């Protein structure tokens, strides 16, 4: 049996100084639960944390830049002024180039209070190290190509948006997490590795990224993936919508061996990320 799949479009909103409401856009691709032909199940789709784009809230002032640093910025030859996100250019350490969060237009140099990286949770832009931006509750790395991202699963594909409008053309890396084994790393503590779909250069692309983990273990009823725990996915098999264990079909689906009576079921339109096909343990 193969399941029909549906995905959530990942639109990471810019982070502000507040801890929530600046995360993955919750819009779905329009597929509704249970609308699957011939009795086959359909994946509910990994849904991101609640909240649309940035609502216009901004930090209480940008980090101070002394005169010497300001003069250096004015004199730089970066492709983007006053500084460039990737590769980083125009800001003198300990400052780093980031989105100008005072008006969401252009770039500016900012300070760093905590040098967070891709496995770090964040609530404000200064929680992330040089070359990273706080979005979706974690630090995302700026990039120019897939090779700039953690491998083997990281892809340079996630835009930073204000609602649905890109704030910059520079992209960030998707997570290098393993959706079958959150313990392998790649996400901040308490988050899960979920499936998302993005548009990169006009081409749909499936990626992995981190999202808040829910309480539902394998077999628990669910209405969205946000209700399911790490290593599980909200999916529908034979009209039964449940959190189900994610399995790796490319390597044989051994994850289902500890769940008697289940096998690793794939999706129609294979759910493939970075060359690996995933499924769920069903029925």
Q: What is the pLDDT of residues 67-101, one digit of tens each?
A: 444 444 455 788 888 999 999 999 999 999 999 98
pLDDT at 104: 82
pLDDT at 164: 83
Q: Per-residue pLDDT for 143 more than 70?
A: yes
Q: Per-residue pLDDT for 23 more than 90?
A: no
- CA distances from residue 186 to 86, 131, 136, 176 in whole angstroms, order as listed: 21, 17, 14, 5
254-274 mean pLDDT: 93
Angle at 73 between CA 67 and CA 79, to 5 degrees: 170
H or E segment and range at residue 96: strand 96-99
What whole-number distance in Å separates Cα of residue 203 and Cα of residue 154?
Answer: 17
Higher pLDDT: 73 or 5? It is 73
State the pLDDT confidence band at 20, using cuts at 50, 70 and 90. very low
What is the per-residue pLDDT across 174-233, written as a single tens digit (0 to 9) for each? Answer: 999 999 999 999 999 999 999 999 989 888 999 999 999 999 999 999 999 999 999 999
Q: Per-residue pLDDT for 172 more than 90?
A: yes
15-28 mean pLDDT: 29
């Amino acid at each position: 049996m193969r399941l029909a799949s549906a995905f959530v479009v990942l639109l990471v909103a810019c982070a502000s100084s507040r801890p929530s409401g600046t995360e993955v856009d919750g819009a779905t691709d329009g597929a509704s639960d249970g609308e699957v032909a011939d009795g086959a199940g359909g994946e509910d789709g990994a849904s991101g944390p609640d909240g649309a784009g940035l609502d216009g809230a901004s930090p209480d002032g940008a980090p101070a830049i002394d005169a010497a640093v300001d003069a250096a910025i004015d004199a730089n030859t970066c492709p983007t002024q006053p500084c460039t996100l990737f590769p980083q250019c125009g800001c003198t350490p300990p400052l780093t180039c980031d989105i100008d969060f005072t008006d969401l237009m252009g770039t500016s140099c900012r300070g760093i209070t905590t040098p967070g990286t891709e496995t770090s949770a964040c609530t404000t832009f200064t929680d992330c190290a040089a070359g990273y931006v706080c979005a979706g509750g974690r630090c995302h790395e700026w990039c120019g190509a897939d090779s700039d991202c953690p491998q083997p699963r990281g892809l340079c594909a996630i835009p930073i948006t204000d609602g649905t409008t890109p704030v910059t053309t520079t992209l960030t890396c998707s997570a290098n997490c393993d959706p079958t084994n959150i313990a392998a790393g790649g996400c901040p503590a308490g988050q899960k590795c979920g499936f998302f779909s993005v548009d990169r250069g006009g081409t749909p692309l499936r990626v992995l990224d981190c999202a808040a983990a829910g309480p539902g273990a394998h077999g628990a009823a669910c209405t969205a993936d946000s209700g399911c725990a790490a290593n599980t996915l909200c999916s529908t098999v034979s009209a039964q919508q449940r959190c189900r264990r994610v399995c790796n079909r490319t390597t044989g689906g051994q994850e289902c061996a500890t769940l008697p009576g289940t096998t690793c079921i794939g999706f129609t339109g294979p759910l493939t990320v970075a060359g690996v096909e995933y499924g769920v343990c069903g029925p």
